[in-house]
Amino acid sequence: MEKLINQAEETQTLSQEELAQLLAADEAAAEKLFAAADRVRRQQVGDGVHLRGLIEFSNTCRQNCLYCGLRRDNHQVQRYRMEPEEIYGLAVKAVGYGYKTVVLQSGEDPYYTLEIMEPLLRRIKALGLAITLSLGEKSREEYARYRAAGADRYLLRIETTDQALYERLDPGMSLANRLRCLQDLRELGYEVGTGCLVGLPGQTLASLAADILFFQSLDADMVGIGPFIPNADTPLGQETGGTFELATRVMALTRLLLPNSNIPATTAMETLHPQGRILALQRGANVVMPNVTEGDYRRQYALYPGKICVNDTPAHCRGCITGKIQAIGRHVATDAGFRRKEPERRFAQIERTGIEQESRGESEGMHE
C-alpha cells in the first residue's frame, strides 16, 4: 500500500483497481494516505484555508433525488424562497465577515429566472466578491448568461459516475445531461466543481474509484466529497449511509490525483464526526464553506438530519471556524482562492482529456 501511495504522490497516477485497494486498506495504510494527502496539500496549495460564505437561498426543488430532503415529493419540509433583496443583503453581510467568495446554492427552482438572477449577480459582483453558483442543471444559455453577469465558479456534483445507480437515485435525470452541464460550464470558462456522495446504497469501492478518476479526467477545479446521510423523510431513510472514514479516504485520494484543486472539508463530514471539518483539513482539504444563511432558513434547508450550525448565527460560525483553523496551525487565506495551475501540467492534462484548449486558456486569464 505504501508503494501505491508513494507512486500516487510522485506521479498522480493510480488505476481504478489500485484506488479501490486503497479505499479498502487497513487503518495503518489509511493513516499513511492521509499524511501523504496533507503533504501534497501543503506543497501545492499551502496552509491558507479559503472560506466561502454559503447562502442557501431557496429550498424549493423540481427534482426528486431519492437521497435529498429537498426533493419535491417531501412534504415534511417547509419551503422558502428568499427575495433577491434578501439574498443581496446576505452577500453584503458576507463581505462584512471578510469572505471573498459567496456560494449561492438552492434546489432546482425555476422561480429564479434570468431576469431575477442577472441583475442580482451583477450587484453582488459589484461588492468585489467572487461568485460560486450551485443551482443544479440548467441550459447552456442560462450558464452563459450567469457567467456574463459575474459568476466565476459552478458546483455540480456528479454524485456517482455509475450510470445505473445515478439514474435509479435521480429519477427523471440522466448522467448524460449531468456531463453535458459540466462540459458546458468548462467551455464557458467557469471554474468547475464536482464531487460525489459516498455510501449510497449499491455503490461499490470500484465505483468510488471510478468517481475519483472522473474528477481527474475532468481536471476539476474543485471537488466536494460528502458522506451520504440518510434522511427519514426520503425513500432512502432506512439505508445505512456513508462513513466519515471512507469519505475522507475518497477525498485524500482525490488530493493525490488532483494536487492543486480546491477541496472543501464538507459540512456533511462534520455532521458525522464532531471534528470532521478539521480532520478533513488535515487529510487533504483546503476550503471550508461556513453558512451565511440566517434564522429559520438554516433549519429548513434540510438535506439530511443533524446538519451542523442550524442554531448558530453567521457571525458565530465565522469566529468558530477561524478559531478551529488557527488551532491546527493553519490560517484563513486572504485572497479569493481561485485555483492556481502551472501551465505545463495544465496543457498536459488537456491533451489527455481532449478538453478544448481555448476555453481553458480563457478561464485561466480571467483569474490570474
- Identify whether the C-beta of residue 251 lies closer than 8 Å to the C-beta of residue 221: no
Indicate which of ligand SAM, ligand SF4, ligand FES, none lies near residue 109 (CB less than 5 to 8 Å, by partner kind).
none
- Pick from 203, 207, 231, 254 the residue near ligand SAM by CB under 6 A: 231
Task: List interacting residues with ligand FES (CB under 6 A).
Answer: 290, 309, 312, 316-317, 320-321
Contacts to ligand SF4 from residues 30-89, by CB under 6 A: 61, 63, 65, 68, 70-71
User: DSSP 3-state assignment of 153?
Assistant: strand
Taking CB under 6 A as the rule, does residue 314 contact ligand SAM?
no
- Pick from 34, 99, 190, 304 the residue near ligand SAM by CB under 6 A: 304
DSSP, residue by residue, 229-250 = ---TTSTTTTS----HHHHHHH
- Pick from 14, 94, 136, 363 the residue near ligand SF4 by CB under 6 A: 136
Query: What is the rounded distance in angstroms from the CA atom of residue 89 to the CA atom of residue 238?
Result: 39
Indicate which of ligand FES, ligand SF4, ligand SAM, none lies near residue 157 (CB less than 5 to 8 Å, by partner kind).
ligand SAM
Query: What is the rounded distance in angstroms from the CA atom of residue 281 to the CA atom of residue 187?
Result: 30
Kind of pairing between the strands at 48-58 and 287-288: parallel
**Residue type for position 255:** R
H/E element holding 359?
Answer: helix 357-367
Taking CB under 6 A as the rule, does residue 134 contact ligand SAM?
yes
Q: What nine digits make up the cell of 60?
A: 424549493
* Backbone φ/ψ region at 301: left (φ over 0), alpha (ψ -120 to 50), beta: beta
Smaller CB separation from ligand FES, 70 or 309? 309
CA 365 to chain centre: 23
Taking CB under 6 A as the rule, does residue 159 contact ligand SAM?
yes
Binding mask of the shown chain, residues 259 to 298, with x at each position contacting ligand SAM by CB under 6 A: ---------x------------------------------
Residues binding ligand SAM (CB under 6 A): 67-68, 70, 105, 107-108, 134, 136, 156-157, 159, 197, 226, 228-229, 231, 268, 303-304
